[in-house]
Amino acid sequence: MPVAMEKLAEGDLRFFSQKDMERRGVMLEASALHAVVRQAWADIRDGRAYGLKSVLLPLESELWARSELRNYRKEFEVERLGWKLSTLSSVGPDYAAVKIVGANALNRHLGRPRSTSTIALFDKVTLAPICLMDGTEISAARTATYATTMVERFLTGRHGLSVFVFGAGPIAERVILGLGIFGRDTFSKVFMRSRSVDSAVQLAAKLAARVAFPLVAVDDNAELSGCDLVITASNAKKPVFDDTEANPRAVTLHLGGDETPAQYIQRVLKTGRLLCDDVGMVSRRNSQSLALYFSKGQATLETLGPLLGVTNFSDLGDDVQIPPDEPLHITCVGLPMLDLYVAKYVYETFLKTRPDALLSCT
């Protein structure tokens, strides 16, 4: 029985802020979260962890109708506003969780993070609440585990890999730090491109001493054709590269919105393999390039994709090998179960570090 059930008897529900976690020494280290998420994927495959995701999109016209915000509209001609309220619910062997995410790219003009998350952790049996926690950093760290998971699964044993990362926000930062868990000779160089060259330069400088590989900020896609791994973690409103610019054999990890071109998807459908963290969730969200490719053709990814070979990552057997000369594209919408497992890790580490945490934190 989880220690949380004993604490619940005290009737003392607490909120763990990011500062609380840091103060108690609970760090979202990439290597630890990689192991946590590895177990999550195993439980997802075995049907021991499952969940669902819903997204509410307010009408953008309501935002721009506000006189004090109208002047910001031109800033979003090439960037997704991403104004949404998301709810991610999941259940695992011992706990359940609900994450609520409020996001709006306009926030950076208002001095706030683009996205903020709150996670409620529940006991599995009673579904009584255990605690609330700030999930903003947890969300970014969870998303970054997609990169470490896919590198481990599809690029193990390869050395001197070149990586191209689109984006310079919190997720891109966590992704780059995550790549650092692998051997020193795994990556030869990581290129970084963002809408603002300055933001890419600043992130490269910030992380240079924390990773073993060189970080190079670029302002175009000239280096893309030589990269083995491409990670899109931007908030772009349209594809960030042309198919002709990409390495035809690259592994592409799609973490954002409409970032990969239709021609690229067509080519991979014919010559490679396409995976999703969850085909149904990606399809129903219908905001990422793969889902949009099908919906623009008057179909859905969920109905037509599997017939064309699009599969869930969790359904791919460990014995299935992807030939290195075939392109691989992976679209990730963000599974609620991964949030649950990271939240469980944070909570249990919090208690282990300070057993009276529920009584003493404010």
**Do residues 279 and 295 share a domain?**
yes
CATH of the domain at 34: 3.30.1780.10
**Do residues 166 and 247 share a domain?**
yes
Q: Is the pLDDT of residue 204 over 80?
A: yes
Q: Are 93 and 49 in contact (CB under 8 A)?
A: yes
Contacts of residue 154, defined as CB under 8 A and 6 or more positions apart, other chains included, come to 251, 322, 328
Domain span at residue 30 reads: 3-139+337-360
Amino acid at 144: A
CATH of the domain at 302: 3.40.50.720
CA dihedral 9, 15, 19, 20 (to 10 degrees): -10
What is the model's pLDDT at position 77?
82
What is the model's pLDDT at position 1?
32
**Do residues 356 and 291 share a domain?**
no
pLDDT tens, residue by residue, 316-357: 988 888 888 899 999 999 999 999 999 999 999 888 876 554
Distance CA(335)–CA(26), nearest Å, equals: 22
Per-residue pLDDT averaged across 16-35, rounded? 87
Q: Is the pLDDT of residue 362 over 60?
A: no
Give the percent of the chain with pLDDT over 90.
79
**Do residues 347 and 323 share a domain?**
no
Q: How far is residue 348 from each of residues 10, 17, 29, 128, 131, measured CA to CA in Å?
A: 17, 15, 15, 17, 11
**Do residues 159 and 91 share a domain?**
no
Q: Is the pLDDT of residue 78 over 90?
A: no
**Do residues 128 and 204 share a domain?**
no
**Do residues 23 and 170 share a domain?**
no
Provide the 10 A C-beta neighbour count for residue 324: 12
**Do residues 222 and 325 share a domain?**
yes
Distance CA(201)–CA(302), nearest Å, equals: 39
Q: Is the pLDDT of residue 25 over 90?
A: no
Per-residue pLDDT averaged across 95-100, rounded? 98
* Higher-confidence position of 282 and 21: 282
> Taking the model in full, what pTM does it have?
0.90
**Do residues 315 and 234 share a domain?**
yes
What is the model's pLDDT at position 9?
41
Q: Are 341 and 42 in contact (CB under 8 A)?
A: no
**190: nearest Cα among 111, 199, 173:** 173
Ranking 104-108, 143-147, 172-176 by mean pLDDT, the lowest is 104-108
Sorting pLDDT into bands at 50, 70 and 90, what band is 23?
A: confident
Q: Are 147 and 163 in contact (CB under 8 A)?
A: no
Helix (H) / strand (E) element for 197: namely: helix 197-207
Q: How many domains does the chain have?
A: 2
**Do residues 78 and 47 share a domain?**
yes
Q: Is the pLDDT of residue 85 over 50?
A: yes
pLDDT tens, residue by residue, 147-186: 999 999 999 989 999 999 999 999 999 999 999 999 889 9
**Do residues 132 and 183 share a domain?**
no
**Do residues 173 and 101 share a domain?**
no
Distance CA(148)–CA(41), nearest Å, equals: 13
Burial of 359 (0-12, 13-18, 19+ CB in 10 A): exposed
